[in-house]
Structure 1
Amino acid sequence: MIANPLAFMEQAQREQGDIFSLDLGFTQVIGLCHPRYVHHVLVEHAHKYSKGGPMWDSMRTFMGNALPMSEGAFWKRQRRMIQPSFHHQRVSMMTDTMVEAIDECLLEWDLAALEGKPFDVSVALSRVTMTVLVRTLFGSGMDKEDAEKVAQAFSFILEYFIAGMVTHSLPEWMPVPGRQRYRESIKMIDEIMQRLIERGREQASGEDNLLSLLLQAVDGESGERMTNAQLRDEALGFFIAGYDTTAAGMTWVLHALTQHPEVTAKVRVELDAVVGTRRPGFADLMRMPYTRNVLQEALRIHSPSVWLPRLSVVEDEIDGYRIPPGVMMVIFTRLIHRHPDIWNDPLTFDPDRFTPERSEGRHKLAWLPFGSGQRQCIAKEFSLLEGMLIMARIVSRYELSSVPGRVPQERVSTNLRTKDGMWLNLRPRLPEAKAQVPRIPLSGTA
């Protein structure tokens, strides 16, 4: 299981079907691999399942009681307060900020394209998503030095989460590799977050960023605002989704484009027709359905979220299968996304399967990169908007191709990443990409 979890879960489904039991030694797991089971656990009987168990407990040591972690009345309160910040109109107003951040990061890509060296886009995309997140969440509040510190700390914390599932319950006196660094990383991030929150309260400038919106948010029922601790937790929750998850997803999007040049050509035709050589705006993206379909198809085949765990809190039954309380239920997103009864020829990359005509009749919970039900990721549209903008800016500027001998290997961590990066060749497409650009260090080249 630990050595190759993807192959392990695929074998379990082949041998036992769409609902199966696994004894992992330290815990029992019931795997769910069909949308009707997703509907049962996340929608129809959601009250019978919680975000409990080793994974969530490990993540709470860092994220506290952020929206993805919280439960019950507190979750409802936070959702009410945060939801307006991700309203369609609010998200659309962030487009220009996102594009400016993306273009700033692509200066590094320009240089790699001119030098003709293999380029690790997985590393570079993490810098892109971090820059976008910092600008949209904090505006000009976080400087580059702090952003780099946070990025490095986050990278370690996210890797430690898996180990933390086992080690978080061990006694404090017991030496655990990485635990001290994990705590120091959290402490450093907390100090930076606290400074940003206090500065935001002092300025009260009404800047158009997410932190400013959260500072102004008022619960309609109690009239209360968020405390600094609550703001800290929610900001870190956004970081998890907006930094690592988006970067992981976009890494696989670019991989798909290199493997399917005919798809890239269609994206480029749509992009040239709608946007031309100017920067894309929110209204442009609404006129680019094929580009959105490409993003959705890439997230289907290589969803960053491999599984969605829940803990049964009462006895239940699914298709005659008894579910005792205290059992870890795992919705295997990857297996649902590749289920042959749901997706025709599931391993074939086919963006047109997301057209309205071909989507008709498909189960609404067959596509789950952002979860489902009332606990669906609140930043879903934000993430899709960011993904389309990143794809549009990269496709408009570069010709992409794979590097011979560097075949990406899947690696399961908190998200579906690659073992040794995603190395691609970049070639300038537009004349302006050939212009002289600043000489900046390229830690992602080899």
Structure 2
Amino acid sequence: MTGHAAAVRTIPTVSTWPVLGCLPDLIRRKESFWTDIHRAHGDIVHLDLGVTGLVAVSHPRHAHHVLIENARNYVDKGGPTGFRATLLPLTGQGLSTIDVEDEHWRSRRDLIGPAFRQGALKAMTDHMAQLVEQHTAAWPTAQDGAEPGLDVVPPVTTAVTTALAELLYGAPINDHEIGQVSRAFEQIMNYMWVGMLASAVPPWAPFPGRRRQRQAIGVIENVVRDVVARRGPARSARAPELVDILSAAERQLDAEGLRDEAVSLLLGAEPLAISVSWALHLLARHQDAQHAARTEVDKVLAGRCPRFEDLAALPYLRMVLKEALRLCPPTYWVQRRAARDDVIDGVAVPAGTNVVVLIHRIHTHPDVWEAPEHFDPERFAPERAKLRHRQAWIPFGSGRRGCVAREFSMTLGHLILAQTLQRYEFSPHPRRTPRLTVAANLRPRAGVWLTARRRAAG
């Protein structure tokens, strides 16, 4: 039972090492760590991470309780703890990272939210499709004489980041800048676990990796500053109907607030690109699904660039994207802090406790998903989806603090899949088999490799 009833059991604590708790095991083992503690302790555990402690919950009903049903008790994200200890120096107080659901958060949501509503999204889609077309038309393929293999993460990242910059900033971003942001983001993500420990050390004190993290943050800030500086006449000449978030933001935000929103918006590109890359990899390994998706694309588009209204006629492709986001969600976990004492499934959660909703564990929970590790887009057919808990699939979070750009991201991912399947046939790389990560912001070092062959014209 989840709610305010009296606690009936004690929460198990996972702690392996003195001082460091279970953090070394979590860093070293990642996926198997969660599988083992779920098998040993169930859906709710207390994680001793040395400098901090977290209660991790991993069932859809827990997500419903924390993010929706009792969300008023969880309006605080918990400050610089957990992953936030690493990310807050980068994102600051952008909409996605503001600590408390207060007037400041509501005003920022009112400022940013309209850019992602249905009407604005419809106006953006045609231009978004043109940008995607430019960046998916010339991928290296086996017929080009190159090595018969392609790491799809860099070209997909280029397509996603370009669309985000031009559509949301109203300014172009070049390939060199995209590469800089991608490498810096990977450096920051590699520091993420260590950053938990670093949060207990004064900022002025030396700590392994801290200097490189600060340098990576500086790189991203410089790129964002340069892109924003290019806004101007080129914006209106290219696409006058598009929403430019920063134009509205400049009228209401100071320099620091503008910087935080600009950086936060850009950083959504990398995790989305990795999830879409995994969708292509999964299609490469499941030729029946790839054939079904391509048949749908060919029938609807007949070789032309997709429009907004075409996406509703590509339901199977959207199911493929949803299944990829289930297996590799953009976010690792969602963190909240309990304002008052609470009880979740008979477990006491004292006031002040940081609670994390484990998205990747919810997405593979055996009570919810049949054969959860298997790729099956048909899980998201309407007749099957309506039988599941509504919080069983939450790649963009949920509730009032759910990602404001959810439909923008889904539309962009949908377009990339449609336009790549128009041009290429994908198969597994003959020598490189990447291992799926539990979340897209834990970027695999080896990339997402597959073989792409250009389809015959017509």
For the superposition of Structure 1 and Structure 2, which TM-score range results when normalised by the shorter chain? 0.7 to 0.9
TM alignment of 1:313-332, pairs within 5 A: 313-332=339-358
Aligned residue number for residue 136 of structure 1: 167
Cα distance, 1:293–1:343 mapped onto 2, change above 3 Å: same
Deviations 1:111-156 (A, max 9, x none): 5652252111123322222222222223344455544444443333
Corresponding position: 1:57 with 2:88: no
Higher mean alpha-carbon deviation, 379-388 vs 314-323, is at 314-323
Cα distance between partner residues in 1 of 2:204 and 2:292: 59
Q: Partner of 1:182 in structure 2?
A: 213
Change over 3 Å in CA distance of 1:281–1:431 after alignment to 2: same
Other-structure match for 1:69: 97
| Aligned mate of 1:93, from 123, 127, 131 | 123
TM-score (norm 1): 0.87
Could you tell which deviates more after superposition, 380-389 or 198-207? Answer: 198-207
Structure 1 residues 198 and 227 mapped into 2: Cα distance closer, same or farther (>3 Å)? Answer: farther
Give the aligned residue type for 1:393. Answer: Q
CA distance in 2, matches of 1:2, 1:304: 18
1:437 counterpart residue number: none
2:134 maps to a residue whose letter is E
Q: Give the gaps of 5 or more residues in structure 2.
A: 1-25
Q: Is this contact kept in 2: 1:116–1:426, CA < 8 A?
A: no
Q: For residue 191 of structure 1, report the CA deviation from its aligned partner.
A: 4.1
C-alpha change, 1:216 and 1:26, in structure 2 (3 Å) is closer
Note if contact 1:33-1:336 (Cα within 8 Å) is conserved in structure 2.
yes
Aligned in 2, Cα 1:300/1:59: closer, same or farther, shift over 3 Å?
Answer: same
| Cα displacement (A) at 1:100 | 2.5
3-state SS of the aligned residue for 2:40?
helix
Identity, % of aligned pairs? 36
Pick one of 102, 110, 114 that aligns with 1:84: 114
Q: Structure 1 segments of 4 or more deviating over 6 A?
A: 201-204
Distance 1:275 1:203, change over 3 A: closer
Q: State the distance in 2 between where 1:389 and 1:413 align.
A: 22
The structure-2 alpha-carbon separation of the partners of 1:412 and 1:335, relative to structure 1 and needing over 3 Å to count, comes to: closer
Query: Among 368, 371, 383, which residue is 1:342 paired with?
Result: 368
Distance 1:116 1:431, change over 3 A: farther
Code of the aligned partner of 2:136: L
Q: Is the 8 A contact 1:105 1:127 kept in 2?
A: yes
The amino acid of 1:54's aligned partner reads G
1:24-47 residue CA offsets vs partner (Å, 9 max, x unmatched): 333333221111111111112223
Aligned in 2, Cα 1:190/1:344: closer, same or farther, shift over 3 Å? closer
Which residues of 2 match residues 35-434 of structure 1 at below 5 A? 35-49=60-74, 50-52=76-78, 53-70=81-98, 71=100, 72-110=102-140, 113-117=143-147, 118-197=149-228, 200=231, 208=240, 212-216=244-248, 225-241=252-268, 243-411=269-437, 415-431=441-457
Question: Are 2:322 and 2:380, in contact at CA under 8 Å, matched by a contact in 1?
Answer: yes
Q: 1:164 to 1:112 in 2, by over 3 A?
A: farther
**Aligned-pair distance for 1:266?**
0.7
For 1:431, the aligned partner's letter is A
Which letter maps to 2:46? S
Matching residue of 1:26: 51
The secondary structure found in structure 1 opposite 2:313 is coil
SS in 1 for 2:378: helix
Unpaired runs of 5+ in structure 1? 219-223, 433-446
Distance (Å, rounded) in 1 between the aligned partners of 2:143 and 2:335: 41
Q: Note the C-alpha offset of 1:268.
A: 0.9
Aligned to 2:3: none
Shift of 1:105: 2.2
Tell me the residue number matched to 2:40: 15
Secondary structure in 1 matching 2:355: strand
Residue 208 of structure 1 and its aligned partner are, at CA, apart by: 4.5
CA–CA separation in structure 2 for the residues paired with 1:296 and 1:92: 20
TM-score by length of structure 2 reads 0.85
- After superposition, the C-alpha distances for 1:268-303 in whole angstroms (9 at most, x for unaligned) are 111111101111111111111111011111211232
Q: What is the distance in 1 between the residues matched to 2:182 and 2:447? A: 17
